[in-house]
Every structure is written in structure tokens, then in C-alpha cells.
A = this chain, B = another copy of it.
Amino acid sequence: MRTEEQVLERIERARRRRPRVREERITLAHGAGGKASGTLIDAVFVDAFRNPELERLGDAAVVGVGDARLAFTTDSYVVSPLFFPGGNIGDLAVNGTVNDLAVSGARPQHLSAGFVLEEGFPVADLRRIVDTMAAAAAAAGVQIVTGDTKVVQRGKADGCFITTAGVGLLDRTVVLDAGAARPGDVVIVSGPIGDHGVTVMLARGDLDVESDLVSDTAPLHSLCAEILDVGGDGVRVMRDATRGGVATILNEIAGASGAAVVVDEAAVPVRAEVMGAAELLGIDPLYVACEGRLVAVVAPDRADAVLAAMTRVPSGAGAAVIGRVADDPPGLVLLRTAFGGTRIVDLLVGDPLPRIC
């Protein structure tokens, strides 16, 4: 029932929708991972490139090459500042691609890295970034096997942009898909949310706040393997909660599954510092990017075992059940607040946190 058929049905739904970009010019919101991003992707990229793997809009495409089933993914990184507590653009780029492969159920193996450098960028900074990438690759058990470097004139970029792509082997039979969630499933998050986004905002110095917060950037390949080993085909979907945060992932899952996701606000792990900074910034931590956290939707009979297994892996030590999949209202994410109320958690419209990754 799930898998092939459901995927095809979603593609058909997307085709019928045919969204349109109303703006004449690109805005920051088009890169924020929310509503505007989704429309741009559907109306421009998917519309032109049209193929089932792209239209699935997973974290990685699943492709056959020879007899092998591969996951293949890419991400561009434009984070500002380039260096922040807990990491820099280099480990962000490596971990991001490793995680897109891992949450797709693949074993991350080989990465590429394309650099766009601004004339005048300090070679010492580049070296620091590249050394961090090398360490991140080693930690994730992947190799950076191919790359490219371009340089543009001063004022035509912002120091350093990195685009990583990655391939990994899909040797498990489990099919993970955002559309596979079903009523009764349990929603688990792997740790406290929003650390990365708030850390980067604070590193910009826009808020006059002192903090010991560090980015959560980390590879999730071991955690994903553990979840799949224990959860088996009870694991419906895993997604890493990057741009747009947990709220965006849950909306994608609800939308693709045609089910409701009901989140218990009090159960969502958020550090006090993140909560405080988010309040000052006027944003909900549910929308703040993580770079080392994932959301897993798991069948009810496997949820306890999966949660227990997650907490045994360092990157899942703070894992918690945050909600359930329900029948109604289909396609929406509901938040049961600490005060007993309920509100809809929609996709972001603007971009409160530009260039967080």
C-alpha cells in the first residue's frame, strides 16, 4: 500500500496543483524552506525537470546505477557568519549531505565539494574550513573524492559558498517516504531543537545576548542505522530538521501522508537559552533550523524500542516522543499548547532567519 502507489499518487496530486510563483524577483523567503521555497521548487524546478525521483522531493533521490541502488543528494551552503560556536560552513556542508543520505536509509560513502570563493578571501580561513570538512568526513566515514573551485571578483559573493553532493549505498529493503505516516504512528525527535539556528543568529551579534550555546551540527549516520536496525519496516520516515525546522518537516509529512500530526508542545525538547533567544527574535523554536537533529515517524509497536535505541547513541541522547499521527485534520500539523489550547502550525511564509545554513 505505502511505497510505489502512494508515491505515484502524490506526484499526481502535485501535478494537478501546478503552483505559480507570483513574485517577479527572488526574495530571501524563496530560500527559507517555507511556503515560498516550496512554490518556487514546484513551479520552476520540478515543472522543468519532471521526473519521479525529483518530484518525490525527498532528502535524497533514489537512483539505480548498474545493479546498485543509490541515494544521491546535494545542498548548497551560504551560512553567515562562516564560523560560529560549534562549527563552521565546512562541517555544516559535510554533515548536511551525510545526513540527507542517512535519513534516506543509505550508508553515506562519497562526497563532492564545489567552492565559490570571493577574491580576497583569506587563505587561512579557507584552510580552516577545509580542515574542518576533512575531520567531519572522517567522523562520518565518508571520503571527499572530487571537487571544484571557482573565484569571483570582490563584492560578487560573500567569502565562501560550498555545495556538497553525496552518494550512498541503499542496501536496506525498507522504504522511507514522507507520505508513509499513518494514524497512530509515533513522532520522535532526536534531541533538543533549534540550537544551530539560534547559535548562528547570536554569532551575528544582532542580539546583545551572551550564551554558551553551540551549533548541533553532527553526522546522524550511526543514529539512522540504529533506528532502522531496531525499527525495521516500522520506521515510516526519517527527516533531518534543517531549514524551516521541525515544523516544516512535520508539515511535509502531514501533507504527503494526508494525515494530521499532533504535537504536544510540552514534550518538545528545547533548551532554555534557545527558548529565550527565540522569544527575543519573535520566532517559534519549532521553525528554527537544527543541523544534527532528525524527526522519525515510527509504527506504535516499535516506538518504545526505537526511542530506547536512539538514546543509546550519543547524537540521540536527548531523543523524545513529541506527538502522534492522527486522522484529522488531514494534511495539517496541530500543536497542543502547554495551556491546553490547540493551534495549527503552518509552513513559514517569510524568512526570519536568513542564511542559517
Show the binding face of A for B, using Cβ within 8 Å.
21, 23-32, 37, 40-41, 44-45, 48-51, 53-54, 60-61, 63, 65-70, 72-78, 80, 109-110, 112-124, 126-127, 130-131, 133-134, 137, 143-153, 155-158, 161, 163, 165, 167-169, 171, 354-355, 357
Contact = CB atoms under 8 A, between A and B. Distances in A.
Given A66-B68, A150-B78, A26 B126 contact: yes
Contact of A69 (B41, B66, B116, B126): B66
B23 A114 contact: no
A182 to B, nearest CB: 26
Given A27-B151, A149-B30, A169 B66 contact: yes
A339 B144 CA distance: 47
Contacts of A24: 122-124
A26 B118 contact: yes
Looking at chain A's contact residues, the main secondary structure is mixed
Most buried by B among A25, A32, A118, A131: A25
Nearest to A73: B146
Interface centre among A54, A123, A155, A167, by most chain B C-beta atoms within 10 angstroms, is: A123
Q: Give the 4 A-B CB pairs with smallest separation, nearest first.
A: A31-B151, A165-B165, A66-B68, A163-B163
A26 B120 contact: yes
